[in-house]
Structures are given as structure tokens and as C-alpha cells.
A and B are shown apart, each in its own frame.
Chain A
């Protein structure tokens, strides 16, 4: 039965109580509806935890196996760029949280501003990631046929490796740096895909917010998107130390 027929029939019932237009008819109250949506969002996020969890576990195990290779390869990453990205992402999480607050307190202009700031900070993150990726491409550190071992067999020829004081690795160990970069690209790449999806949804939300869609009491969409955005932030909070920081002195 189409929705409008249902509404028309229900509207004729004398005992039909008043309710906001966004309350679906299979829910008893807006509270129940919001709880159900939040619960579902968390279930989705848990599947994401399992997905990234697999990557993190793989990283942990391979780091143990090919420790020297992982240490040398991680010296190729730039802590200032990674740190700056952490800064951008944490700030974008803050602006998103403020956006949820604006939606809850029905501040339309505030919400639009927060969403735009989140959008820009997200793009900034991807921009810096692009710089980092292009460095890897230039140095042939992308796993595949053109992968180069030079930075690890002859560290003195490489700016980053020399700065970190790397010793030359034996060939079989040097070849395992490719495992590090495979995981690096898989993890940061999947994270970036989540960012791109998030930014696309943000763009859509900015238009809807300007039309006043989220500031009339129905904040579920903004709230659940906020959960997603914060989740992506949390993944980066773990990626940054694990990929960039923990092998600095080994």
C-alpha cells in the first residue's frame, strides 16, 4: 500500500494522536524511533570495527615477523604530515559534534557552518594524504612491479632513511618492506575511502541543512552521520601511532 493511502486512512481514525510528521507509523514514539536508528548505526559501526580490526591484526602479526623491515619502512613516513592530518581530523570531529549540537538546538546557520567546516577539514585531510601518497609513488614505494628496494638496501642514498640512521637491510628482509607498504596502503586507503564517502554525504547534508531539513526536531540523520564521522576519526587515532610513530627509535 502506498504511504499516502496509509496516512489518509489513519487520519480518519478519531483516536489518532498528534505526532511529528517524521515519526514513522511502525514506531510508538519519536524516542523509540531515535533509539532504534542509533542502535542500528552502532551495529553497522561494529561491523566496521571488525573490518578494520582484521587489518590491524594483520599489521600486528606481520610487524612481529618482519620487524626490521617494518621499522625501516615506517621511517619513510613523515611525522609532521601525519601529525597535521591528525590535527585536521580531530578538529573536524569537533566541528561535527558542534553540528549535532546546532541541529539539536535548532540553529540552522550554525549547523550549515559546522557542516561546511567539517567538509573543508575532511578535504584538507585528503589533500595531505595525496601529498604523502605522491611521495610514495615518486620513490617507488607502492607495492607491485615497480617497487624499489633502494631506500632499504642503500639507506645512505635516501633522505628519510639517512635521517633516521637506518642500517642496510639484508635482501630478504628488505623485500618484506613491501608487506609494510601493502598494509600501509590498505589501511590508509580504506580509511581514505571512508573519508571520501563521508565527504560526499556531507556535501548532500549541507544542501539539506540549508533547506532546514535537520533543524525542525528530526536530528537522527545528522546524529548518525556524526557517529560515522567520529568512527573514522577513531580509526585514524589508531593508524597514526601504529604506522608513523611506534618504530621511531628501533
Chain B
């Protein structure tokens, strides 16, 4: 087959259970950390840390549980484009809310 070489690039990659177990432990540690941190008064850093930990956990799930690390470039690009689009929409909406009453606060 003429596309044989292309297909060789992404022969079905089977992720080993060891990886899954490591990720599970990392996610559980992340959950414990985020709960523990929420009981410590860090002022403005509480939400920042909570969201940072959540983003880390989500990245682990996407890369390993959802196999994106081992996927085709098309899948990676799709996921990247989706996240980029989402962040664009959020920042444009927030830019509107921040600047609408500019100077009157």
C-alpha cells in the first residue's frame, strides 16, 4: 500500500497500566493537595493555586487517560485549537467586563 509509511507513524499505541496507575496516584495527590491548600489562608493565592492544580490534573487526564500524548498530530492540533478557542472566548468576554466601566471604580 502506498500510504504504508504514513500509517507506520501511528500504529495503535497501547498505553501500559503502569502509566495509568502513576497518573491515578498523581491525580489523587493533586486532589488531596487542593483540599489541604483550601484550608490554609493564602489570601488571593487560594483561587490561583486551586485553578493551577485543577489545570495540572486536567492536563494529566488529557495527555494520558485520553491518550493525546500518543495520538496523531491531527488529534493534538484539534485539542490545542479547542483550548485556544476557549481561552480566546473567555479572555474577550472578561476584557469586555473589565473595561466597560473603565475609570469609574
A94 surroundings in chain B (CB, below 8 A): 20-21, 23-24, 27, 65
Contact string, A211-250, partner B, CB cutoff 8 A, digits 1/0?
0000000000001001100110110011011101110111
Contact string, B29-65, partner A, CB cutoff 8 A, digits 1/0?
0010011001111110011001101100110011011
Out of B7, B20, B35, B42, which one reaches A79, CB within 8 Å? B35
Interface size bucket, B side? 35 or more
Q: How far is the CA of A39 from the CA of B20 in the complex (A)?
A: 22
Report the nearest A residue to B27, measured CB to CB. A90
Say whether A57 contacts B93, CB under 8 Å.
Answer: yes
B50 surroundings in chain A (CB, below 8 A): 241-242, 245-246
> Assuming A29-B7, A97-B65, A249-B41, is B86 touching A238 (CB within 8 A)?
no
B97 surroundings in chain A (CB, below 8 A): 61, 64
14 sampled A-B residue pairs with Cβ under 8 A? A28-B3, A29-B3, A39-B74, A46-B78, A87-B28, A93-B65, A94-B24, A94-B27, A97-B20, A238-B54, A238-B58, A240-B34, A245-B50, A249-B42
Chain B residues proximal to chain A, CB less than 8 Å:
1, 3, 7, 10-12, 14-17, 20-21, 23-24, 27-28, 31, 34-35, 38-43, 46-47, 50-51, 53-54, 57-58, 61-62, 64-67, 71-72, 74-75, 78-79, 81-83, 85-86, 89-90, 93-94, 97
Chain A residues proximal to chain B, CB less than 8 Å:
28-29, 31, 34-35, 38-39, 42-43, 45-46, 49-50, 53, 56-57, 60-61, 64, 79, 83, 86-87, 90-91, 93-94, 96-98, 101, 104-105, 223, 226-227, 230-231, 233-234, 237-238, 240-242, 244-246, 248-250
